[in-house]
Structure 1
Amino acid sequence: MSPKESAADDLQDLAALWSIGEARAHDVVEVACAALVAGLDSPALRILAGYTRAEAENEVPDLLPAVLDELDLVYYPRDSEAGQEAVLRALAHQLPAGKLTPRELASRVHQLFGHQLPKAERLAELDDEYDIIEYGDRTLAELDAAVTAEARTLAHNRLDHGQPS
């Protein structure tokens, strides 16, 4: 994956996380700066990258849809199922990046979506298994491996920088 593609993926993931309140507006600005450095460019991206921390909170909601549109990325409306699935993929990407452990991923997904999002159901079930591990028939290593496998599947289900499937 090229630096530009990686930056586009990072921006897409953070935009999805931001859309459900899981990332701060100034985090979006920081990723926009990194995207410019990586070679992505658009008029709205340049404006977004120039916001201060204080401006970010008020300006990101209005500008982010334009940035994503100019870069051929997807803006997910707040609380849409497609947006929730994008957040699920974004969280799954954090496991191989070392930002989350398998247990943290399963717990976070379970907290966010419970058993309500079909594509997140397996991780929610695995989080339940972590809670009763001393009574279950799986070891911690087996649970971690199952979460890692599920995260890998979810992370690879992305098409064209997060376009809905």
Structure 2
Amino acid sequence: MGEIRATDVVTAACDALVAGLDSPALRISAACTEAEADYDVPDLLPPVLDELGLTLHPVGSVAGQETAARALATRMPAGELTPRELAFRIHQRFGHELPLAERLAELDDDYDVLEYGDRTPAQVDADVTAEALRLAQHRRVPTEPTRAPA
């Protein structure tokens, strides 16, 4: 969804290997140099995710957008984004078009009108934090029934 650089994917592949995950495509991804990453990662990512049993959502799909919004939301409690930065990035990326992240877009609007209202930045920060935690914990319900093992 364009939220991280290809070199970040290479770093994540290295971290995954160190953590004990392993697959042929994961090893190839981890071995990419910085110069190779931009070219090789887009082709390597689908097999890596497939080998690890993870889902690759089509670019632009609602499921992909929701996954990206949840991933961004996890970055705020981890200290990688401030509440204001999270609300801004969600609003910038999805506008008011992604129901899952609509509240964060609204809160970004709230930051823009603080001087005209009766709310403080700390109050909006608290609302963004609560919403980020809700999004980070939100799990997508499968749209197709799963079959029980035979």
Does the aligned pair in 2 maintain the 1:89–1:158 contact within 8 Å?
no
Whether 1:28 and 2:3 are equivalent positions in the alignment is no
**Equivalent position of 1:130 in the other structure:** 111
Q: Which runs of 5+ in 2 are unaligned?
A: 144-150
Greater relative contact order (CA < 8 Å, ≥ 6 in sequence): 1
Q: What's the C-alpha RMSD, in Å, of the aligned pairs?
A: 1.4
| Aligned residue among 114, 121, 128 for 2:102 | 121
1:65 and 2:46 are equivalent in the alignment: yes
- Contact 1:106–1:147, Cα closer than 8 Å, also in 2: yes
Distance 1:164 1:127, change over 3 A: farther
Deviation string, structure 1 residues 94-141 (Cα, Å, up to 9, x no partner):
011100011110001000011111111100000000000011222111
Counterpart pick for 2:69 among 66, 71, 88: 88
Query: 2 CA distance for matches of 1:164 and 1:103?
Result: 31
1: CA distance between counterparts of 2:133 and 2:101?
13
Structure 1's 53 and 100: CA in aligned 2 closer, same or farther, altered over 3 A? same
Q: Unpaired segments of 5 or more residues in structure 1?
A: 1-19
Question: 1 CA distance for matches of 2:60 and 2:127?
Answer: 28
Matched residues in 2 for 1:67 and 1:102: separation?
Answer: 32
State which of 11, 18, 21 in structure 2 corresponds to 1:37: 18
Q: TM-score, normalized by length of structure 2? A: 0.90
SS at match of 1:97: coil
- Find the aligned partners of 2:65 and 2:142 in 1 and give their Cα distance: 11
| Secondary structure of the structure 1 residue equivalent to 2:114 | coil
Q: State the percentage of identical aligned residues.
A: 67
What amino acid maps onto 1:106 in structure 2? A
* Paired residue total: 143
TM superposition outliers: structure 1 runs of 4+ over 4 Å: none
